[in-house]
């Protein structure tokens, strides 16, 4: 009898070895790319493991700063809390926008995919190309408001400034409106508060299907598949700018090694599953899988690279 009971317990443990319950914190308002990252992680983890449940929560503020400082200072050892990040998060670190925080202050778990920058206008906009947009800015900079996630120096601000430089327009002439996340930027453009959105391809894919948005350019090496397949690159339009970024999740610095490795392994299994490529594509992301120690090394190099870019515009604090 005892042997049978032990066998049943071991079998139950084996069946539930991959069962996990988690919270994925979105460090922005709903509707943007950070939201998309957590939703993709939830779909992938729940599809790949029995009895796994991922709850989403929203903690906007400071373009990720509120979530960063809350988790690092108050919730640093929670074993099942994940936080979404993007290239914008790494740029903020590089510029000192999270205070004295560095890439060493959290535990980097997994990258779930790659994304690219893009520039969008309303479908009824008179601007049908990057050249038309920058010609209009040259004529009357006050007439073109550009919605960006974050303030001066944010990722959306920086890629628009770099585009302007390459197009022969002084970035100081650009007029930006600081918003909280890609969802808010597209909402503002739909309401006519801004005429342009500098954002990411994954965000654009969410809004381009209803015919109300025109994507002027994607900042990729070549045209992207899927919903944006007919959108030209900036390079095709004579503006040689490429802006790739990664999306993923991190955990607090006090998380135990065993719990951290458990989540790294969970994402390794998720990304190896046959369905994950489809889920990633549906989310508007492109292949980029990296976890644990390899991801941590990649993040540190990326922060160093962003630091050099930011210094060009005197943005490092």
Does residue 194 lie within any of the structural domains? yes
Q: What are phi and psi of 228, to 5 degrees?
A: -100, 20
Q: Print the domain residue range for 259.
A: 22-114+244-312
Question: Which of 237, 252, 287 is where one domain is finished?
Answer: 237
Which CATH number goes with the domain that contains 231? 3.40.190.10
Does residue 197 lie within any of the structural domains? yes
Structure tokens at 24: 């994925």
Structural element, H or E, at residue 179: strand 175-179
Does residue 60 lie within any of the structural domains? yes
Does residue 3 lie within any of the structural domains? no
Does residue 17 lie within any of the structural domains? no
Question: Taking residues 89-108, what's their average pLDDT?
Answer: 91
If asked whether residues 144 and 186 sit together in one domain, one would say yes
If asked whether residues 110 and 248 sit together in one domain, one would say yes
Buried-exposed string 223-234: b where 16+ CB fall within 10 A, e elsewhere? ebeebbeebebb
Domain count, the chain: 2
Does residue 12 lie within any of the structural domains? no
If asked whether residues 138 and 203 sit together in one domain, one would say yes
Q: What are phi and psi of 315, to 5 degrees?
A: -105, -10
Tens-digit pLDDT profile for residues 209-242: 778 899 999 999 999 988 899 999 999 999 999 9
Tell me 2's DSSP state: H
Residues 6+ apart with CB under 8 A from 139: none
Tens-digit pLDDT profile for residues 276-302: 999 999 988 999 999 999 999 999 999
Question: Which of 207, 237, 267 is where one domain is finished?
Answer: 237
If asked whether residues 289 and 223 sit together in one domain, one would say no
- The pTM for the full model equals 0.80
Contact at 8 Å (CB) between 220 and 116? yes
Structure tokens at 180: 């909280």
Residues 149 and 156: their CA atoms lie apart, in Å, by 6
Residues 172 and 12: their CA atoms lie apart, in Å, by 63
If asked whether residues 106 and 124 sit together in one domain, one would say no
Band of residue 104 on the pLDDT scale cut at 50, 70, 90: very high
Which CATH number goes with the domain that contains 87? 3.40.190.150
Band of residue 312 on the pLDDT scale cut at 50, 70, 90: confident
Residues 116 and 183: their CA atoms lie apart, in Å, by 16
If asked whether residues 122 and 109 sit together in one domain, one would say no
Residues 6+ apart with CB under 8 A from 86: 33, 34, 37, 115, 155, 200, 245, 246, 247
pLDDT > 90? residue 189: yes
If asked whether residues 221 and 121 sit together in one domain, one would say yes
Band of residue 16 on the pLDDT scale cut at 50, 70, 90: very low
Buried-exposed string 50-82: b where 16+ CB fall within 10 A, e elsewhere? eebebebebbbbbbbbebbbbbbeebbebbbbb
Band of residue 180 on the pLDDT scale cut at 50, 70, 90: confident
């Amino acid at each position: 009898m005892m042997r049978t009971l032990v066998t049943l317990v071991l079998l139950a443990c084996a069946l539930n070895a991959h069962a996990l319950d988690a919270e994925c914190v979105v460090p922005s308002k709903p509707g943007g790319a950070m939201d998309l990252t957590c939703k993709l992680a939830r779909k992938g983890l729940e599809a790949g493991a029995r009895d796994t449940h991922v709850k989403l929560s929203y903690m906007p503020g400071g373009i990720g700063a509120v979530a960063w400082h809350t988790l690092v200072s108050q919730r640093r050892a929670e074993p099942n809390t994940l936080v979404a990040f993007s290239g914008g998060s790494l740029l903020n670190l590089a510029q000192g926008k999270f205070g004295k925080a560095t890439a060493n202050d959290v535990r980097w778990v997994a990258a779930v995919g790659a994304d690219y920058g893009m520039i969008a206008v309303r479908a009824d906009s008179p601007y049908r190309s990057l050249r038309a947009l920058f010609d209009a800015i040259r004529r009357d900079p006050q007439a073109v408001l550009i919605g960006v996630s974050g303030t001066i120096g944010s990722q959306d601000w920086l890629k628009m400034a770099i585009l302007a430089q390459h197009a022969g327009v002084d970035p100081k002439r650009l007029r930006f409106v600081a918003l909280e996340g890609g969802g808010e930027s597209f909402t503002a453009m739909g309401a006519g508060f801004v005429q342009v959105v500098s954002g990411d391809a994954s965000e654009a894919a969410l809004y381009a299907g209803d015919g109300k948005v025109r994507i002027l350019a994607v900042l990729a090496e070549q045209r992207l598949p899927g919903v944006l397949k007919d959108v030209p690159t900036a390079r095709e339009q004579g503006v040689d700018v490429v802006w790739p970024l990664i999306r993923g999740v991190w955990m607090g610095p006090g998380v135990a090694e065993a719990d951290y490795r458990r989540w790294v392994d969970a994402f390794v299994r998720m990304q190896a599953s046959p369905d994950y490529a489809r889920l990633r594509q549906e989310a508007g992301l492109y292949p980029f899988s990296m976890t644990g120690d390899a991801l941590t090394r990649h993040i540190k190099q990326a922060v160093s690279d962003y630091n050099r870019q930011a210094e060009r515009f005197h943005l490092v604090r």
